[in-house]
Amino acid sequence: MPPKKAGSKLLNWASHIEDNTLAQARETASMPFVHPHVALMPDAHSGMGSAVGTVIPTLGAVIPAAVGVDIGCGMIGVRTGFTKSDVQGGDLAVLRHAIEASIPLSPGNYNIGVDEWDFTAPKLAELEGLAASNAVNLDHSPKWREQLGSLGGGNHFVELCLDETDQVWLFLHSGSRGVGNKIAQKHIKVAQRLCSQWWIDLPNKDLAYLPEGVPEFGRYITDLKWAQRFAFLNRAEMMDRFGAVFAKWMGTEDHRELERINCHHNYTVKEKHGKKDVWLTRKGAVDAHEGVKAIIPGSMGTRSYVVVGKGSAAGLCSAPHGAGRRFSRTEARKRYTLDDLRTRMVGIEFRDGEEFVDEIPDAYKDIDVVMADAVDLVSIEHELRQILNVKGT
């Protein structure tokens, strides 16, 4: 749908949006260095400081809390050479347990060692080299190496999916784990301290920013780029493991990878918008430049989409990152039960338990409405439906 002007320097693509989300977006758009405008995506909902589903272009400054604490969070999907007929009859519970044994789940669950898989060492070497050459101080996260290849909790997940032609896809959602969180928290506090020190009046303390030209800005961008690369490689590591256990489950040598899409949806990058070079923060949004592929997940019991960007200038070449929450985790637990979750997940192999009730599909917005609202931002290339879901707790 075409965007609606929702305030000074604010365009909104969401047909269903809460008042507090709009209020947060208006606060963000009021920052003096925003250019040309803030774009509110179809899946937008309230978040810390800035609403999730907000695209924020800034001149000469970056807001660390707007990027968020899960730096580089995003999606990775692999299209395989297998089809539905190849996996039919296989015991999906066996595959699920193999995934759970290979990818540490939940916050604080790390790899016991880092030498089990041959493909892990090159990723660690790249990250170590980047940290050394850019003086990235990781003393706050002595176990960051053990975090590579771990899922995390909340709405992070691993799925086996079928597309509209019954092609098999491997699919997962994760970010920069504890190390990214520590980096984010460190720089959010620095920005808040400096804005307070400079007597800057902010509409919200989580809109504290770092201006170009001060050493703290350069340090944040350097650390941010490292964390974004960690998140990208973390997804790649888990996908390599998923592919290995899937191939073993299939009784083959490899998982017949035909295509791989790995995209962030919480990050900052330098781009040109409104005829100027800006720092573009996508807080819950994907890159949708013309021809760029991305992944937009639904919920654990609904469809997801592989999309191609249309390069919408008004949309800041961005698109939604998922369904977006309809109810908070607390509210979802009040409304729904484990039996409700089991009913919604009929036909899908999943981790059963009370701890997953707040991830019930009903707690999320209707992904079909989100995609209809995004029609001017992306075109749909593939529609995925899950047959297996593994959630982090």
Q: Supply the residues annotated as catalytic.
A: 321
Q: Is the Cβ–Cβ distance between 157 and 351 less than 8 Å?
A: no
> CA 344: distance to chain centroid?
24
* DSSP-based three-state secondary structure for 43: strand
Distance, in Å, from the CA atom of 367 to the CA atom of 374, rounded to the nearest integer, reads 10
Distance, in Å, from the CA atom of 7 to the CA atom of 40, rounded to the nearest integer, reads 11
Q: What angle, 0 to 180 degrees and rounded to 10, lies between the N-to-C axes of helices 215-250 and 92-102?
A: 140
Distance, in Å, from the CA atom of 44 to the CA atom of 58, rounded to the nearest integer, reads 19
User: Whose CA is closest to 137, among 85, 190, 194?
Assistant: 190
Tokens standing for residue 242 = 């998923």
Distance, in Å, from the CA atom of 115 to the CA atom of 131, rounded to the nearest integer, reads 20
Beta bridge partners of 280: 57, 269
- Token pair 């919604």 in the structure block, residue: 344
Distance, in Å, from the CA atom of 239 to the CA atom of 172, rounded to the nearest integer, reads 7
Distance, in Å, from the CA atom of 98 to the CA atom of 117, rounded to the nearest integer, reads 15
Q: Is the Cβ–Cβ distance between 15 and 369 less than 8 Å?
A: yes
In sequence order, what E strands does 113-164 have?
A: 157-162
